[in-house]
Amino acid sequence: MSNIVAIVGRPNVGKSTFFNRLIQRREAIVDAVSGVTRDRHYGKCDWNGKDFSLIDTGGYVLGSDDVFEAEIDKQVELAIDEADAIIFMVDVESGVTGMDEDVAKLLRRVNKPVFLVVNKVDNGKRAEDAVEFYALGLGEYYTIASINGSGTGELLDALVEALPEKEEVVEDELPRFAVVGRPNAGKSSFINALIGEDRYIVTDIAGTTRDSIDTKYNRFGFEFNLVDTAGIRRKSKVKEDLEFYSVMRSVRAIEHADVCLLVLDANRGFDGQVQNIFWLAERNRKGIVVLVNKWDLVEKDHKSVKEYEKAIRLQMQPFTDVPIVFISALTKQRIFKAIETAVEVYKNRTKKIKTSQLNEIMLPIIENYPPPAYKAKFVKIKYIMQLPTPQPQFAFFCNLPQYVKDPYKRFLENKLREKFGFNGVPISVYMRKK
């Protein structure tokens, strides 16, 4: 399991811009108007060979100043509680504000690495102005410009050095299936239907449940740990702090799972936050099964299932080889089919292909459809093997690996899926020098 780093601070200091730069994806919406980010954004980042999960806590719907200050306190307290390190971002243009001081007051009491980051420092004059942030009582600060990346290298060097080493947790050999998804999608109802009893994982008090709860489950002659990551029971409204807490717990559960059962509300669809969870599971190379819950509440005809599934797969591109099961936790419709599918995905993820079989099947395909010539040079793939890793990874040995581009790697991945069956599992293809 990797560490979690939370970015905290008041609105419009550049948290989302910084977040996008670190994860190298434009996931968080950036705008000059404060309060744009409403959903929690999270992704993977690595620096100098050390990876960590990054949480962007920015963005609120402003009611009144008092309401806002109460909400930011809740966010920071939860980030302090769950994260392994905190990046506290402030804005050199605005200087020290009352809200900055409130956050700093909370951070001064914690026993975790806290990095004070002064953003929008893009010239010498602003670097001099940043001195006033010593008044926050958090010691040394780092000056960056998240818009162009200036200063981020020094910050990340210090950050990864301060992150605690994660101990390997010795657990039983049972596979771990994590039930993840946004709040109010029916995760708890799904697990309750499976185990036949009600389990309240989290109360209305933020932070009640500290860890994910495992349930040993035995069906179809296959035993596994079912990990309940439901941060919230079914509610008409989701509080900001509870939603954020459930997200952080889901991040940890995803990293420690073998297969992720991604539950979504059929009435809401494959929306932005569900996509974030999907891609986080994909980047962690986990098996994935998508469960469309509350299907009994959707008005549908004989075409609706195919159309709904097609719309989801369109948003999954290019990783569309994922099983989608339409369920109802309330009526128990197809819930055991969901578990059977997760078992199959787990088997696919742990599948090992013999080297002789790989070469016998793949080399003729490569001979008929070789990599395109590049700069009048021809790539010749001579040998293939599956790497000894927990998830499917394949090395293709050739004379000029640097000339094999991503489209051809996707072609090889598709052929591996077609010939050997890796439904629901991300595949990594590497070109190596022969």
pLDDT in tens, 358-417: 999 999 999 999 998 888 889 899 999 999 988 899 999 999 888 889 899 999 999 999
Q: 342: closest CA among 331, 358, 353, 327?
A: 327
Task: Round to whole Å and give the CA distance between 423 and 361.
Answer: 19
> Who has greater pLDDT, 210 or 214?
214
Q: Give me the count of residues in the chain.
A: 434
pLDDT at 430 (0 to 100) = 92
Give CA–CA dist 249/209, Å, rounded: 10
Note the pLDDT of residue 409.
92
Determine the pLDDT at residue 382: 92
How much is the pLDDT for 224? 80
Q: For the chain, give the percent of residues with pLDDT over 70.
A: 76
> What is the per-residue pLDDT for 356?
94
Closest residue by Cα to residue 288 from 397, 418, 424: 424
- Contact residues for 52 (Cβ-Cβ < 8 A; gap 6+): 2, 3, 4, 5, 44, 45, 46, 84, 160, 163
Termini Cα distance of the chain: 33
Packed helices 187-195 and 335-349: angle between N→C axes, nearest 10 degrees: 100
Between residues 393 and 80, the one the model is more confident about: 393
Instruction: Look at residue 206 and tell me whether its pLDDT is greater than 50.
Output: no
Supply angle C-alpha 140, 143, 148, rounded to 5. Answer: 160
Side-by-side strand order, sheet with 176-180: 213-219, 222-228, 176-180, 259-265, 287-293, 324-326
- What pLDDT does residue 70 have? 60
CB-based burial, 184-211: b 16+ in 10 Å, e otherwise: bbbbbbbbbbbeeeeeebbeeebeebee
The span from the CA of 157 to the CA of 414, in Å, is 38
Average pLDDT over residues 424-430: 92
Q: Give the pLDDT confidence of 128-174 residue by residue, as tens digits.
A: 889 999 989 888 999 998 888 888 889 999 999 988 876 655 445 78
Cis peptide before 401 (omega within 30 of 0): no
pLDDT, residue 101, reads 87
- For the beta carbon of residue 399, count every other beta carbon within 10 angstroms: 13
Angle formed at CA 75 by CA 30 and CA 66, multiple of 5 degrees? 90
Give the pLDDT score at 387: 93
> Does the pLDDT value for residue 197 go beyond 90?
no
Longest distance between any two alpha carbons in the chain, whole Å: 69
The CA distances from residue 2 to 112, 124, 274, in Å, are 16, 36, 21
β-partners of residue 185 are none
Neighbours of 344 (CB within 10 A): 17
Highest mean pLDDT out of 4-18, 48-62, 64-78, 189-203 = 4-18
Report residue 67's pLDDT band, with 50, 70 and 90 as the boundaries. Answer: low
Averaged over 7-23, what is the pLDDT? 81
Single pTM value for the model: 0.61
Torsion of CA 283, 285, 287, 290, to 10 degrees: 10
Q: What is the pLDDT of residue 190?
A: 83
pLDDT at 220 over 70: no
pLDDT band at 290 (very low <50, low <70, confident <90, very high): very high
153 with 159: CB under 8 angstroms?
A: no
Calculate the average pLDDT of the chain: 78
Mean pLDDT to the nearest integer, 341-360: 93
The alpha carbons of the chain give a radius of gyration, in whole angstroms, of: 24
Query: What span, in angstroms and rounded, lies between the C-alpha atoms of 231 and 219?
Result: 25
Query: Measuring CA to CA, which residue among 207, 216, 248 is closest to residue 229?
Result: 248
Mean pLDDT of 340-365: 93
Kindly list the distances between the CA atom of residue 165 and the CA atoms of 34, 51, 52, 202, in Å, as whole numbers in the listed order: 36, 11, 11, 28
Q: What percent of the chain has pLDDT over 90?
A: 27
Phi, psi of 399 (to 5 degrees): -80, -30
Number of C-beta neighbours around residue 148 at 10 A: 11
Contact 118, 133 (CB under 8 A): yes
pLDDT number for residue 249: 62
